[in-house]
Structures are given as structure tokens and as C-alpha cells.
């Protein structure tokens, strides 16, 4: 058993402990306390390690990224129109033809160095799968499908299921098939995906851009034009004349397994509907700024009572995959929110949304000891505020708990 002593413990499931202890054994958390636990009855050897003025917290959760796009780092400049930005991404991806492994491996290393334990990784090509599977990360593989006019959505889903079933099983990873977005997935494909999902989490880009709202309201605008340009328009499709959450609800996808990613354009009514269904909104504010999607109403997210998780999105639309950087941007957009709420979003809320709350997200006995120690300057009094101020990997270390 290893007993870590630290200036701060942030269990997340309860308030920070100033000067406390975390005991770990064989990769599991065995104790959390303000005072040194009584270990006199234990026969095994106990090693006590004093870490000094650090904050121990659970490894963070990046609930939305696309690791396979890591080679696009700094390749598509920021835009003020998301459809324009997405067209550039599609053109670049077509030109490249495949997602090279080296940048994926580098992005996984960087994520880990920035304190991330768990990820929700969206993939079209499964290019990151083997690298993730052999890494220290755990999480959800969201095999994402697009198709606004596919003639046989069921076959598309069956082919994706077959591809997933060929992957070597790994208990650290859950795999499911998910839809891309309302403007790129036909109602029939949404339905086929819903039927295949069972009780696994389903992630979808939702309410991301103004153009998506326009498209669903009246079937017009830049997404409609783009679908026409790439030969993906569906003559049968009729605009539902409602907002994105209601549209998804009509398709039977709004439930407690849903991760509604971005939500940049969501109004109070849509957020209330998500909250009532116990769904999750995944905020990715740095990516929203980069792609021209807009500014997410972060305070409105929390006011609605919906579960809020945090994602970085991909290196195509963000400088790094550091969840602490994303937290700092969330803080800028929600200056009045208690920092503890943001920290919950970066830990337990993401773990719940991805279906891993029994193993990750808090420092509680029995959970995986995937713990980080963040160096805290001596003058810091409000440790939670410090942790959402934008930390870099040089102050983060993983605890050795094997
Ligand atoms: Zn995304």
C-alpha cells in the first residue's frame, strides 16, 4: 500500500481536504482522509510519500475529441463561418486520404501529460483505435457515421458494427456507433443507429452552429448548400421546423445516454428538455471559437440543471488537448459559477456521461487510482479557482499507484 500525503485532496465527491491522505493499493483507491488512517492492523508494508504542496485529483475526462484528426493541427485556420471551416476540413481530409498514426500517438502522449485519464473519442476511420487500446487511457470509442441520403441505412450500421466486432476486446474501452449531426445524418440513419445503440452512450454534435438552426427551421442556408455541392442532398427530407433538441427527441435519441456535444446555439427550452431527460451537454468552447460556431452559453448550461461535461474537440480546431486549458475558457465564459462545478464537469460528469463513473471521476475508495498531483504555489488559498486557471503539463504529475 502507498499512502500519499498532500497539501490538498480534491475528492470531487466532497469538498477539498486541506492537508490529507490518499491510500492506494494495486491500482485502486483504498482510503481518503484528512488524518493519517490507522494502518496498525494491516500486515502489509506501507510506504508513505509526502508530496508537499500539491493537489491530488482524479485524472480528468475529455468527453469529446477526435484523435484521428491530430495530423490537422494548425492546418485549418480559424473562421467566422462553421460551414466554410468544415468545407476546408473535408477538402483537406480528401486530399490526405488517411489519418497518419504518428500525430495520434503524439496527441495521446500529450493528453496523458496534461492529466487526462478518460476520453470520448469520435472516429470515422478507427485509425486511433489500436494506439488508444495500448495506451494508459480508457474511454468510449464512438464510431461515427454520416449519411444524409444513404439508400440503405441499416446496411451502413451493420457494416460499422462488423468493423467494431473485428477489433480485439479491451475492457478499458466501450465501443458504440453514433451519428455525426442533424445536417449530415438522415432520419432513417438516426433511427438505425438508435436501434443499434442499446444502452450504450450516444454522442452527437448538436446545436453547434447558427447555420444548423437555420437548416432545421427552414431547410435553407449554408449546410443545405454544402449538401447540394457534395451530392448528399436528400430530396425526401423536410425541415422539421423546430430546434435541434426537439428534432433529436422526435427521433427518440434524447435520453440519459445522450452526449449533446457543443450546444453552442441551444436555448433555455432545449437545455431544459435535455436536463429533464438526464442527458449531458459537452462544452468545447475553444473549438467553437476556432470554427466560427459561436460562444456557448456556459452559464445557461449550468442554470438549466443539465449535466455538463467538457471536451477539447480535435487538434483541427484547438491548440492542444489539455482539458485544463478548456476549463480556463469555461471559467472565462462563466465567471460567476463556483469553480467546483467546473471541476465536476471535467471529472465525474464526463465519467458518468461516458459510462465509467464506477471507475473514474472521483477519489473514492474502490475506484481506479488514476490520480494526478498538481503543484500548487504556496500563496494559493482557493485551490479550486487555481485549478481552473489554465494549467500546463509542467505542474502535473501522475501518481504511481500500481
Ligand atoms: Zn467534434
Q: What's the pLDDT tens digit per position in 135-179?
A: 999 999 999 999 999 999 999 999 999 999 999 999 999 999 999
Q: What is the mean pLDDT of residues 206-235?
A: 97
What DSSP string runs through 343-383? HHIIIIIHHHHHT-TTTSSS--TTSB--EEEEE--TT---H
pLDDT of residue 37: 84
CA of 262 to the centre of ligand 1 (A): 8
- Residue 299 predicted with pLDDT over 90: yes
The pTM of the full predicted model, rounded to 2 decimals, is: 0.98
Q: How confident is the model at residue 318 (pLDDT cuts 50, 70, 90)?
A: very high
CA of 303 to the centre of ligand 1 (A): 24
**Which pLDDT tens digit goes with each residue over 321-337?**
999 999 999 999 999 99
Q: What is the DSSP letter of 136?
A: S
- Identify the residue with better confidence: 43 or 64: 64
**Which pLDDT tens digit goes with each residue over 176-202?**
999 999 999 999 999 999 999 999 999
CA of 334 to the centre of ligand 1 (A): 22
pLDDT of residue 43: 74
Furthest-apart CA atoms within the chain: distance in Å: 74
Q: What is the mean pLDDT of residues 369-386?
A: 97
CA of 307 to the centre of ligand 1 (A): 18
pLDDT of residue 338: 98
Q: How far apart are CA 162 and CA 141, in angstroms?
A: 15
pLDDT of residue 362: 98
Q: How confident is the model at residue 39 (pLDDT cuts 50, 70, 90)?
A: confident
pLDDT of residue 376: 98
CA of 224 to the centre of ligand 1 (A): 20
Q: How far apart are CA 302 and CA 339, in angstroms?
A: 12
CA of 375 to the centre of ligand 1 (A): 31
Q: What is the mean pLDDT of the chain?
A: 97
Amino acid at each position: 500500500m502507498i499512502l500519499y500525503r498532500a497539501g490538498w485532496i480534491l475528492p470531487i465527491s466532497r469538498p477539498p481536504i486541506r492537508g490529507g491522505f490518499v491510500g492506494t493499493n494495486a491500482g485502486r483507491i483504498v482510503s481518503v482522509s484528512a488524518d493519517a488512517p490507522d494502518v496498525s492492523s494491516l500486515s502489509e508494508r506501507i510506504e508513505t510519500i509526502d508530496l508537499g504542496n500539491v493537489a491530488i485529483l482524479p485524472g480528468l475526462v475529455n468527453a469529446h475529441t477526435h484523435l484521428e484528426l491530430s495530423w490537422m493541427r494548425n492546418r485549418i485556420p480559424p473562421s467566422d463561418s462553421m460551414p466554410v471551416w468544415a468545407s476546408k476540413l473535408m477538402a483537406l481530409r480528401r486530399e490526405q486520404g488517411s489519418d497518419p498514426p504518428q500525430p495520434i500517438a503524439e496527441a495521446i502522449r500529450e493528453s496523458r501529460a496534461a492529466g487526462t485519464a478518460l476520453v470520448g473519442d469520435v472516429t470515422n476511420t478507427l485509425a486511433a483505435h489500436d494506439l488508444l487500446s495500448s495506451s494508459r487511457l480508457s474511454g468510449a470509442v464512438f464510431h461515427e457515421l454520416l449519411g444524409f441520403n444513404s439508400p440503405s441505412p441499416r446496411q451502413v450500421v451493420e457494416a460499422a458494427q462488423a468493423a467494431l466486432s473485428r477489433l480485439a476486446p479491451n475492457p478499458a474501452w466501450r465501443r458504440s456507433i453514433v451519428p455525426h449531426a442533424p445536417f449530415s445524418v438522415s432520419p432513417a440513419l438516426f433511427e438505425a443507429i438508435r436501434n443499434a445503440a442499446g444502452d450504450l452512450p450516444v454522442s452527437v454534435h448538436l446545436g453547434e452552429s447558427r447555420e444548423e438552426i437555420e437548416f432545421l427551421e427552414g431547410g435553407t442556408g449554408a449546410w443545405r448548400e454544402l449538401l447540394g455541392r457534395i451530392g448528399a442532398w436528400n430530396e425526401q427530407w423536410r425541415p422539421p421546423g423546430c430546434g435541434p433538441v426537439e428534432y433529436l427527441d422526435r427521433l427518440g435519441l434524447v435520453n440519459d445516454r445522450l452526449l449533446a456535444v457543443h450546444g453552442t446555439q441551444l436555448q433555455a427550452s432545449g437545455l431544459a428538455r435535455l436536463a429533464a431527460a438526464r442527458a449531458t451537454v459537452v462544452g468545447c468552447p475553444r473549438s467553437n471559437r476556432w470554427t466560427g460556431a459561436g460562444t456557448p452559453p456556459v452559464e445557461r448550461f449550468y442554470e438549466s440543471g443539465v449535466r455538463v461535461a467538457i471536451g477539447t474537440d480535435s487538434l483541427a480546431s484547438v491548440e492542444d488537448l489539455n482539458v485544463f486549458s478548456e476549463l480556463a475558457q469555461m471559467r472565462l465564459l462563466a465567471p460567476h459559477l463556483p469553480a467546483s462545478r467546473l471541476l465536476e464537469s471535467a471529472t465525474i460528469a464526463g465519467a458518468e456521461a461516458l459510462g465509467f463513473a464506477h471507475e473514474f471521476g472521483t477519489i473514492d475508495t474502490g475506484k481506479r487510482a488514476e490520480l494526478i498531483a498538481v503543484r500548487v504555489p504556496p500563496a494559493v488559498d482557493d485551490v479550486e479557482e487555481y485549478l481552473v486557471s489554465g494549467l500546463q503539463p509542467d505542474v502535473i504529475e501522475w501518481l504511481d499507484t500500481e
